[in-house]
Amino acid sequence: MKKIRIIIAALLTALLSSCGNAEQNEASRELFAMDTLVSVKAYGTESEQAVNAAADRITELEKLLSVTDETSDIFRLNSSGSAIVSEETAELTADALSLCRLTGGALDISLYPVLREWGFTTDEKHVPTDEEIEAALAKTGYEKIIIEGDRISLPEGHMIDLGSCAKGRAGDEMIAAVSEVGVTSAIINLGGNVQTLGSKPDGSEWSVGIANPFSPNELLGIVRVRDKAVVTSGGYQRYFTDDDGNVYIHILDPDTGRPADSGLASVTVIGDCGMTCDGLSTALFVMGKDKAVRFRRENGGFDMVLVDNSGTVFITPDIAGSFVNSSGAPVEIIYE
């Protein structure tokens, strides 16, 4: 799966961020971070400095937020149950908890014990027993996480994983790093999380592709944006199949501790904040179409592209004019 995701990320980056060979002062860089291929492309006189600054920033954040790096804030927290962490880790945890509350727990950063039971954090994926799932669920609950300044505390046996928001926050921080050196046109792809700064050098909008969840090497469609994050979550991104051919996706329903079965194949969220789009893409996938539509109606602030298991695409009205259907799938506008 990792190899497929890398190929997809590279393909999308090549397809979507190209602005033509005639562009001047273009710089690009690729690296592997946060378990995915990351590409950065920037334009302007400081473009080389910009892409290096962005690469340095995601490397810094990965060292703080990794659940497997024994020197990271999150590993130390999960190991001891209480730890003094960096300002960045404390802020992201607080922001993620706000999303957990806003989504009514459809996003839950405390699900790490359950993810471990399924083996999604290791190379030993398997279907846990009902008893194992229930025991792991007993060690979850975002509302039990306590933040006091730079100290985070967890109940005994509880652990957190910020993976549902970390790439989004990394994208935000990378865009900020690029902006700080004076660049005003850039695009960043973090393996399905795309963030744009300004517009293309020629003033036109960026064309960001959305993968077809039923054929991930192909595009479902393209959305044209400027100064936006475009984040997609779907069951096709990480999964395993058991000996009987049953497919188990990595997006778990916090209520059941089992792979989400909401009727959706993928969710794309488009908005100003990458971290928010990242967390919401997971939460809305868990909610399913009807609850996702209701959530947007009540909260607003973002657009979305939903693909259900039948292959129908649902888009919010504000992006209807900027969405290009490249797959031939039926498209319906969500009128609220």
pLDDT in tens, 188-208: 999 889 999 999 999 999 999
Q: In what order do the strands lie in the sheet with 206-212?
A: 206-212, 215-225, 323-325
User: Contact 286/251 with Cβ under 8 angstroms?
Assistant: yes
Supply the DSSP string of 94-127, one letter for each residue.
Answer: HHHHHHHHHTTTSS-TT-HHHHHHHTTTSS----
- pTM (predicted TM-score): 0.91
Q: How many CB atoms lie within 10 A of CB 167?
A: 28
User: Contact 235/213 with Cβ under 8 angstroms?
Assistant: yes
Task: Please give the pLDDT value at position 24.
Answer: 62
Q: Are strands 151-153 and 193-197 parallel, antiparallel or unpaired?
A: unpaired
User: Contact 278/284 with Cβ under 8 angstroms?
Assistant: no
3-class state of residue 151 by DSSP: strand
Task: Please give the pLDDT value at position 21.
Answer: 41
* Residue tagged 């089992």 (tokens): 258
Domains delineated in the chain:
2-64+167-333 (3.10.520.10), 68-160 (1.10.3980.10)
User: Contact 175/186 with Cβ under 8 angstroms?
Assistant: yes
**pLDDT means over runs of 10, the chain (336 residues):** 42 45 76 95 97 98 96 97 98 98 98 95 88 97 97 97 96 98 97 94 96 94 97 92 92 97 97 98 98 97 97 96 95 90
